Amino acid sequence: MKRLGFVAALGLGALLMSGCDAGAAMRFGWPEGITPEAKKMVDLWTWSVIAALVMGILVWALIFWTITFHRANDAKKGVFPRQTAYNVPLELTYTAIPFVIIAVLFYFTVIVQNDVEGKTDDSKVVVDVTAFQWNWKFGYNKVVFSDGTVYDGFEENGNPFEIQEQVGGSGPAAETEHSGPSDHGGEHEEVPLPAGGRDDDIRDYLNFDKIETVGTSSEVPILVLPTGKRIEFNIASADVIHSFWVPEFLYKRDVFPFPKQNASDPIFQFSSIDRTGAFVGRCAEMCGTYHSMMNFEVRAVTPEDFDSYIRFRQANPTATNAEALASICQVPESVSTVPFDTRRNAGGTVGAEGNRDDPVLANCTKKVS
């Protein structure tokens, strides 16, 4: 008993000295959610862990009670123990209780899941997310400003893969007319390119918008969003399967190429972001060599700042995202993550010292075998 008390005191002391507050402790390792949906998921998680702990403590207590008070001693040696099998009421009880537990967990999971996956058609911001190896592109498909005016950012002829009109005969080598940014006028022969085993010309699920933010290996893409407004995400991949994950949203969704053919729903919504700040986003699906470097940042700003940001980008189509962020007095670079150093130029961190024109080792004798 003394030893048990010591262990309990040690555990309690370690918890108190770790400096985590009660709220963080009750999240059992999860980050603090910043959407109403995330908060509901945290509650479900907290109560599920508590239920598991109650069950765990009960089982541990029964195990320790048995091994402490029912071990063999001299008086019991050689005596056949009392048999308790075929105790029908007991067996019915411990069959029924797990079913009740599963039913209760299932009920609350479905309630929260329906809420998280719920969609309405009154989103104030619609963002087109395009994942590609190995970065992200964010486009503003629709924005409803605070004064009620609607900005439609969808670019009708933005898809360079879409074949607008078939000219001439049919068949794989048919002559086609190409429209969009890559159009150089005139006719050319269609060259099928690899795209998930399909021709590029059916990558018409990719959305292009007038205002877009594209990440590069030297700049982390920052997706600016307003607080307090319903936001819709429409995710698509230009190549392989990625996964859109913002830990503070407590939400992650696989980003598929060809969502229709892959039977994947590319749209999800959050009813609001509850506080301003910078939140790191990551790719959560192993998608190739630089998968771990595929970071982005969500920058939640006030609705007024968001309106100014979009209006600045509307008025200055050639301005960079950094300039637009600076125009609303936001730090123009990501503050939650850093770009991956690709070491492809001398301006970055270079490797060993050496003469670029003659990279040989000084005072070295070649080994001849």
Residue 166, strand partner residues: 176
Minimum gap (Å) between residue 45 Cβ and Cu ion: 26
Q: Counting contacts by CB under 5 A, is residue 294 touching Cu ion?
A: yes
Minimum gap (Å) between residue 287 Cβ and Cu ion: 3
Minimum gap (Å) between residue 298 Cβ and Cu ion: 17
Q: Distance (Å, rounded) from C-alpha 272 to C-alpha 281?
A: 17
Q: Counting contacts by CB under 5 A, is residue 255 touching Cu ion?
A: no
Which two tokens mark 344? 């492809």
> Is residue 340 within 8 Å of residue 293, measured between CB atoms?
yes
Between 231 and 287, CB nearer to Cu ion: 287
Minimum gap (Å) between residue 133 Cβ and Cu ion: 7
Candidates 84-92, 193-201, 283-291, 359-367; binding stretch for Cu ion (CB under 5 A)? 283-291
> Is residue 240 within 8 Å of residue 132, measured between CB atoms?
no
> Is residue 281 within 8 Å of residue 213, measured between CB atoms?
no
Between 134 and 208, CB nearer to Cu ion: 134
Binders of Cu ion in range 211-250 (CB under 5 A) = 242
Residue 57: other Cβ atoms inside 10 A: 10
Q: Counting contacts by CB under 5 A, is residue 283 touching Cu ion?
A: yes
Candidates 25-33, 64-72, 230-238, 284-292; binding stretch for Cu ion (CB under 5 A)? 284-292
Binders of Cu ion in range 115-174 (CB under 5 A) = none
Minimum gap (Å) between residue 250 Cβ and Cu ion: 19
Q: Distance (Å, rounded) from C-alpha 12 to C-alpha 175?
A: 75
Q: Distance (Å, rounded) from C-alpha 321 to C-alpha 327?
A: 10
Between 131 and 273, CB nearer to Cu ion: 131
Residue 248: other Cβ atoms inside 10 A: 21
Minimum gap (Å) between residue 6 Cβ and Cu ion: 49
Between 293 and 325, CB nearer to Cu ion: 293
In degrees, rounded to 5, the angle at the alpha carbon of residue 56 between the alpha carbons of residues 86 and 112 is: 110
- Quick one: how far is CA 43 from the chain centroid? 20
Which amino acid, 347? G
Q: Distance (Å, rounded) from C-alpha 308 to C-alpha 328?
A: 7
**If binding means CB under 5 A, how many residues of this protein chain bind Cu ion?**
4
Between 130 and 272, CB nearer to Cu ion: 130
Those residues whose C-beta lies under 8 Å from the C-beta of residue 86, and which sit 6 or more positions away, are none
Candidates 301, 353, 341, 344; CA nearest to 324 is: 301
Minimum gap (Å) between residue 291 Cβ and Cu ion: 5
Between 232 and 254, CB nearer to Cu ion: 254
Phi first, then psi, for residue 41 (nearest 5°) are -65, -40
Q: Counting contacts by CB under 5 A, is residue 293 touching Cu ion?
A: no
Between 62 and 286, CB nearer to Cu ion: 286
Which two tokens mark 164? 């607008």
Pattern 321-340, Cu ion, x by CB under 5 A: --------------------
Question: What strands, in cross-sheet order, belong to the sheet with 187-189?
Answer: 163-166, 175-178, 187-189
Between 206 and 287, CB nearer to Cu ion: 287
Which amino acid, 301? V
Interhelix angle 36-69/88-117, nearest 10 degrees: 160
Residue 300: other Cβ atoms inside 10 A: 23
Q: Counting contacts by CB under 5 A, is residue 284 touching Cu ion?
A: no
Minimum gap (Å) between residue 340 Cβ and Cu ion: 13
Minimum gap (Å) between residue 248 Cβ and Cu ion: 19
Residue 93: other Cβ atoms inside 10 A: 10
Between 291 and 311, CB nearer to Cu ion: 291
Between 246 and 287, CB nearer to Cu ion: 287
Of 287, 300, 301, 310, the residue at the interface with Cu ion (CB under 5 A) is 287
Minimum gap (Å) between residue 268 Cβ and Cu ion: 18
Provide the binding-site residues for Cu ion, judged by CB under 5 A: 242, 283, 287, 294
